[in-house]
Amino acid sequence: MIDFEPHYRRVEQLIYAWARAIDEDRVEDITTMVLDAGRYTVKSRFNHDRELPLAVIDCHNAAQLRDRILSMRKANVYQPHHYRHILSGIHISGQTGESLEVTHNFLIVRTMDLSGDMKIFATGQCHDHIVLTPDGAKFKERLFIFDSRVIETLMIIPL
C-alpha cells in the first residue's frame, strides 16, 4: 500500500488555490494550475453515470480554458455574481503513472451582486488527476460531476 501522506498538503492546497482564484475573481489564475495538455470537464451526475458524453464545459487543454475565460470576460453578457466554494472530504485514492487520483465533495453558493440573493448553485464530487511537477502540483485532469441535472440558466463562471 502506497503512503500518500507526504502529498496530502500539496494536493489539498492546490485544490483550495483553484477555488480561491474563482471566488476572488482571479479566474484567469486557474489556467496556471493545469498542465498545458490538461483537461477540465463539468458534467452532470446523470450523464456521467450513464456514460453519456455531453458536458457543460469540456476543455481539452489549458488554451481552451483560457479562451473560455476570455469569453466570460469579453463576450458574455450576464448578471454579475460570484461563487463561494465549500470543499470537503479530500481523498487520495490511488496513483496512475505519475498522477495521483484524488476526489473531494464540493458545494458552491452563488451570490448575485445586486440583489444579494444567495443559493446553492451546485453540489457534487470532483475527480482529479494531479501531477507533482518541479513547478509545484498541477492538474492533469479535473472532472466536476454535479448532482443535479438542472443548472439554472447558463453557467458562466467555471466551477
Q: Which of residues 7-66 bind a second copy (CB under 8 A)?
A: 8-9, 13, 16-17, 19-20, 23-24, 46
Q: Residue 129: how many CB atoms within 10 A of its CB?
A: 21
Instruction: Answer whether 110's CB lies under 8 Å from 82's CB.
Output: yes
Query: Could you say which of 111, 127, 155, 156 contacts a second copy (CB under 8 A)?
Result: 111
Question: With respect to a second copy, which residue has the nearer C-beta, 33 or 59?
Answer: 33
Distance in Å, CB of 116 to a second copy, minimum: 3
- From 5-13, 34-42, 51-59, 66-74, give the range in contact with a second copy by CB under 8 A: 5-13
Distance in Å, CB of 154 to a second copy, minimum: 16
Query: Could you say which of 7, 127, 148, 156 contacts a second copy (CB under 8 A)?
Result: 148
Task: Return d(Cα 77, Cα 23) in angstroms, integer.
Answer: 19
What one-letter code names the amino acid at 131? V
**Residue 149 engages a second copy in binding (rule: CB under 8 A):** yes
**Residue 79 engages a second copy in binding (rule: CB under 8 A):** no
CA atoms within 13 A on the CB side of 5: 2
Q: How far is CA 87 from CA 103, 105, 109, 159, in A?
A: 11, 6, 11, 12
